Amino acid sequence: MIQKPPGVEDIFPDKIDRWNHLIGTAREAFRLFNCREIIVPVMEFTEVFARGLGDETDIVSKEMFTFEDRGGRSLTLRPEGTASVVRAYVENGDYNRLSSCRFYYVGPMFRAERPQKGRLRQFNQFGAEFFGSGDPFTDFESIAVMDSIAKKAGVRNYRLLVNSIGCPHCRPSFMKDLREYYISRKDGLCEDCRRRLEKNPLRLLDCKVESCIILKKDAPAITKYLCEGCADHHAALKAHLNDGKIDFIEDPLLVRGLDYYTRTTFEFVTGEAGQNAFAAGGRYDGLVETFGGKPTPAVGFAAGIERMLLLLEEADIPRSGLDAYVVHSGGAAFDEARSIVAELRDAGFSTDMEPGAKGFKSQFKKADREGARTVLVIGEEELAGKVCTVKNMDSGEQEAVPRDRVAARVAAIVGK
Ligand code: HAM
């Protein structure tokens, strides 16, 4: 038997109801927030991510699926969506010329991480990117759309963490102090962090190694290093969150694992340790310029679909079963069943039946497995009386319905 590679998943129909419920909720929220869908390629030139995300990030330095095409050019399966959307935005002048625009996307991402529950090598995200506004209200809007998706989808007991990591003007003095703090504690750092210390000490705050997490607790907090512009921006975002009644926790050590962020960073988390982000994002005012576009402020987020589905496992999501299952006794009853199936499908009801003549018991079992809301029985008696027995599978009630009123009866039961 050929098996799937580690860290990828097959999504069978039993999971699809929850999957569609979540994505449907997200699409509807994006519509309400005036975000329009963009579909970008699953692979890009490696440079898109190396330049966009930062060489020192875990993603670029060790988690990308990179390969050469036949012409010797380096390609990478996208580990996230933001860099691709920015590349597309800059490359497509029509959009780049708009003063502001909001995109959302849904699709697979690839990271060569050590697979575990909720951590896959191929996983799916939905996310949104808001271009053209540096106003803190837009940071609020990007948080608000994710918050409304989490609420409407049925995620319970989550927390929103927010921080500001400053801008290229105020961050250097913070980085200097952060570096000094860690240099005096270098022996306690993991090997990666000792290397990162010189190039990008901010990355140390994002390290998941236990000894580094312990050191992080007393590290300097960025809050008191923020310049006036960044401090005002952060205060305004917090005021908008309060006005919008979105609960949040300020976390001065929240830095995120990507280099493109400026000012706002945020994570939606569950669980005791607050380590399990199911959605995250922030502002990235310099990224469009990095890709050769005109200076354009931007903010966005992405959510992990598989991670959210784990949280929704317990939530009450209606299962979308068949509207009708037609049970028959074969021969002339088969012909009648077949015409009822066609009629119901024409009328917009999902309907199925067995091809060959099988016992009623096994056909009812099948109807049950398919989650049928109604079962329609055609046997000798029904044929003779020109009726069909329609059973409501929720209430258990059944009645003989004249043949020409079957569709209306099914409609009354399934509510369409
Ligand atoms: P990220 O924090 O790297 O941010 O990923 C966002 C979400 O994707 C995570 O919170 C998590 O739910 C999910 N995720 C990440 N890695 C995995 C994995 N290996 N397996 C399963 N789920 C995973 C970004 O990707 C940024 N592009 C977000 C953003 C958009 N920032 C601004 N705009």
Task: List, for residues 11-60, the tens digit of each pLDDT value.
Answer: 988 888 889 999 999 999 999 999 999 999 999 999 999 999 988 888 99
Rg, C-alpha atoms of the chain: 27
Provide mean pLDDT across the span 397-404: 96
Query: What atom in ligand 1 is closest to the CA of residue 82?
Result: 27
8 A C-beta contact, residue 288 and residue 86: yes
Q: DSSP letters along 303-359, please?
A: EEHHHHHHHHTTS-------SEEEEE-STHHHHHHHHHHHHHHHTT--EEE-SS---
CATH code for 324-414? 3.40.50.800
Query: What atom in ligand 1 is closest to the CA of residue 119?
Result: 20
* C-alpha 259 to ligand 1 mean position (Å): 14
Amino acid (one-letter) located at 5: P
Sequence ranges of the domains in the chain: 13-170+226-311, 324-414
- Would you say residue 318 has pLDDT above 70? no
- Would you say residue 118 has pLDDT above 80? yes
Lowest-pLDDT range of 63-72, 91-100, 129-138, 303-312: 91-100
Identify the residue whose C-alpha is closest to ligand 1 atom 10: 279
Q: What is the dihedral of CA 402, 405, 409, 412, to 10 degrees?
A: -150
Other beta carbons less than 10 A from residue 369's beta carbon = 11
**CA separation for the pair 317, 232 (Å, rounded):** 42
Q: Which fold has domain 13-170+226-311?
A: BirA Bifunctional Protein; domain 2 (3.30.930)
Residue 317 confidence class, pLDDT cut points 50, 70, 90: low
Supply the pTM of this predicted model. Answer: 0.90
Kindly list the protein residues whose Cβ atom lies closer than 6 A to any atom of ligand 1. Answer: 80-82, 111, 113, 118-120, 123, 125, 127, 129, 257, 277-282, 300-304, 306-307
Query: What atom in ligand 1 is closest to the CA of residue 303?
Result: 7
- Would you say residue 119 has pLDDT above 60? yes
Query: What atom in ligand 1 is closest to the CA of residue 284?
Result: 32
- Would you say residue 100 has pLDDT above 80? no
Provide mean pLDDT across the span 163-167: 96
- Would you say residue 201 has pLDDT above 90? no
Identify the residue whose C-alpha is closest to ligand 1 atom 8: 304
Q: What is residue 98's predicted lDDT score, i.e. its pLDDT? A: 72
Identify the residue whose C-alpha is closest to ligand 1 atom 25: 80
Q: What is residue 51's predicted lDDT score, i.e. its pLDDT? A: 92
Same fold, 13-170+226-311 and 324-414: no
* C-alpha 166 to ligand 1 mean position (Å): 21
